[in-house]
Amino acid sequence: MPASSYHSFRDPMPDLAGKSVLVTGGTGSFGRAFVRQLVTGAQPIPRRIVVFSRDEQKQDTMAREFRAQLAEDVFRRLRFFIGDVRDESRLELAMRDIDIVVHAAALKIVPTAEYNPFECILTNVHGAENVVKAALRMEVDKVVALSTDKAANPINLYGASKLAADKIMVAANHLSAGGTKFSVVRYGNVIGSRGSVVPLFEDLIKSGAKTLPITDPRMTRFWIALEQGVAFVLSSLAMMEGGEIFVPKIASMRIVDVARAMAPQLPHQVVGIRPGEKLHEVLITEDDARSTWELKDRYVICPADHQRDAHLKAMGATSLPEGFRYSSEGNPQWLDADTLRELLGRKAA
């Protein structure tokens, strides 16, 4: 499928004029792209954008880069706030006068989480809890949290921690009593993001590697372009009523085909599946499907006690058939080599 046929996820878009937005993990791959979209996209620029992260070096680099690229009046809308989602009081300070929170901070590398389970739980689970508590106390309007396909039927600690975070976000709507709304966005691998196999392959190719490591020739993954992920979060913000898990319709690709697309001349070395890895990923399980609605460009998983049928039906949503499962190996949409190279901005070899 050509990149031009990808869903753009730009409908609907939220009205951010006069709003204040905070992004946790704001110096990560998603955070930087999200902030860039807020200050350069077609939608109104928010009144204030708070980049919340714990890495002072990344904040300094990001601030200098954006200052050089933006008009002074636009750059002045950015705030760089050092903090960790493990620190609830720091989150409360950062969320003063904030209307929208995008929670992107997480420990994401599967083997790292397997080896450092306490640290993963502190950031991914307790961090989500802290975001909820701070947002409730500061009376934030909306919170959308980024999740992962690994949270569906998890077999590794990262996936389990993100499933717990998803449950915390959905349940938070009961605590807000109609005030703050909490929802989740769940998607697959982001092409080119930190922790993705694509930068690994790029580094190996640039260093003159003679082979590329392949965990298993059968392995498949969901893939989404970074710009798509940003647009999907924005459109989900516009659509959310609280408690939903939004899942985009995106393409799959075998890891071995990713390697062939990037370096068709290099042979592969099968190294085996790493601890905690799945052969294929799932975004919607059969059990989730019973409470899921389908729209043209996405699925919406609703909480068990939802009252959104009329709202979603008015948007043209339909229920899913019994036994539906949205998995990377059974996906009807597949990336080919030319499409991947187009998304990466690379020429065919």
Rounded CA-CA distance 188/223 in Å is: 6
Asked about 296 being catalytic, the answer comes back as no
Rounded CA-CA distance 182/276 in Å is: 29
Is residue 226 a contact partner of residue 194, using CB atoms and an 8 Å limit?
no
| Tokens 């390697």 found at | 259
Rounded CA-CA distance 296/294 in Å is: 7
Burial code (b: 16+ CB inside 10 Å, e: under 16) for 123-149 equals bbbbbbbbbbebbbebebebbbbbbbb
Q: Which residues contact 287 (CB under 8 A, 6 or more apart)?
A: none
Amino acid type, 109? I
Residue 224, Cα to own-chain centre: how many angstroms?
9
- Closest among 232, 253, 228 to 298, alpha carbons compared: 232
Q: Which of 150, 162, 181, 249 is catalytic?
A: 150
Write out the catalytic residue numbers.
150
